[in-house]
Amino acid sequence: MGRKKNKQNQQDTPKCIFCGKTSLTKEHVWSDWIKNVIPRDDSKRHEHILMRQDGFEHRRPTGHVGSKTLKIVCSDCNNGWMSKIESDAKPILTDLMLEKAIIMDRDQQLLVAKWAFLKTIIAEYLDITWQAINSSERKYFYEKKLLPENIGIWIVKNETDKWRYRHLHTGGKVHYSSLPNRCNTQSTIFVIGGLIIYIYKRHDSSFTYPFLGEWGRSLTLIYPHEHKAIRWASVPSMNGDETELLRLNLERVLSLLSLPHGI
Ligand SMILES: [Zn+2]
């Protein structure tokens, strides 16, 4: 009986989402250093929306989206390779958030893309009901420190002061997946200061970005690489309404491709 209980306890012990170790530490969903670059002004609006195609349920947690923490990664991962991705990307992210007139080469685009994908993985644990990035994609990223081929990441400038911190997540299930009834497609939008990052996961690699719509023309692809260099001052901008329409466009596409809930 005692042995059975111990086994049960072992199974229940939370494990690192990347390496499986059990010595978990808190990780900020959004890196804590960001508050020193873009102050968290509570008089401004902050929003965090999680959505699922079947039901369109909205959740807007209280508190500042920038201060959320989760205990899902171990200290070795957090202080090792994750910390390196953070420190590598921080200088370029800082310049993007502050709208400095920089030029990003391909290496810098990749640093930002890796950081954005890592944060997307972490942020999906705010509510795993809508989690679309699966364990094999996490494993691929952890082992190779590369992004899976079904990930696309874009940047665009944020032109509104109304939203300086924003996190929009949409998860849905595209019908011709063999997976059980769980999300396999997602979009995440991070708005931090002057920077908007759009992270999209396709259910597979068989179609190319039908979701972007008219708002997609403003987006600049940073992964997979399309541009040798990106002049940040020349990148288009979006206001809050356009950002919302970009998110809604994925919902529209998902509604055409998804099965009703329960099938
Ligand atoms: Zn770990």
Q: Where are the domains of the chain?
A: 16-257
State the pTM of this model.
0.87
Most confident of the ranges 1-5, 77-81, 198-202, 213-217 = 77-81
Ligand 1 centroid – CA 75 distance (Å): 7
**Percentages (nearest 5) of helix, strand, coil residues in the chain:** 40, 25, 40
Ligand 1 centroid – CA 53 distance (Å): 31
Ligand 1 centroid – CA 20 distance (Å): 6
Q: How confident is the model at residue 176 (pLDDT cuts 50, 70, 90)?
A: low
Ligand 1 centroid – CA 67 distance (Å): 22
DSSP state of 233: G
Ligand 1 centroid – CA 7 distance (Å): 21
Ligand 1 centroid – CA 119 distance (Å): 15
Q: Which of 131-145, 167-181, 210-224, 231-245 has the lowest mean pLDDT?
A: 167-181
Ligand 1 centroid – CA 83 distance (Å): 12
Ligand 1 centroid – CA 25 distance (Å): 10
Ligand 1 centroid – CA 197 distance (Å): 26
Query: Minimal CA–CA distance to 29: which of 142, 155, 151, 169?
Result: 169
- 135-170: per-residue pLDDT in tens? 999 999 999 999 998 999 999 999 987 778 888 888
Ligand 1 centroid – CA 19 distance (Å): 4
Give percent of the chain above pLDDT 90.
Answer: 47
Ligand 1 centroid – CA 85 distance (Å): 14
Beta-carbon contacts of residue 148 (< 8 Å; ≥ 6 apart): 137, 140, 141
What local confidence, expressed as pLDDT, does residue 126 receive?
Answer: 86
Ligand 1 centroid – CA 84 distance (Å): 14
* Tokens, residue 31: 């890196």
Ligand 1 centroid – CA 141 distance (Å): 12
Phi-psi group of 130: left, alpha or beta (phi > 0 → left; psi -120 to 50 → alpha; rest → beta): alpha
- 18-71: per-residue pLDDT in tens? 999 998 998 888 888 998 998 877 655 555 565 554 444 455 554 566 677 899
What local confidence, expressed as pLDDT, does residue 170 receive?
Answer: 83
List residues bridging with 155 in a β-sheet: 197, 220
What local confidence, expressed as pLDDT, does residue 46 receive?
Answer: 54
Query: Minimal CA–CA distance to 168: which of 222, 204, 114, 126?
Result: 126
Ligand 1 centroid – CA 87 distance (Å): 18
* Tokens, residue 127: 């509510």
Q: When comparing pLDDT for 256 and 149, which is higher?
A: 149
What local confidence, expressed as pLDDT, does residue 183 receive?
Answer: 83
Ligand 1 centroid – CA 143 distance (Å): 11
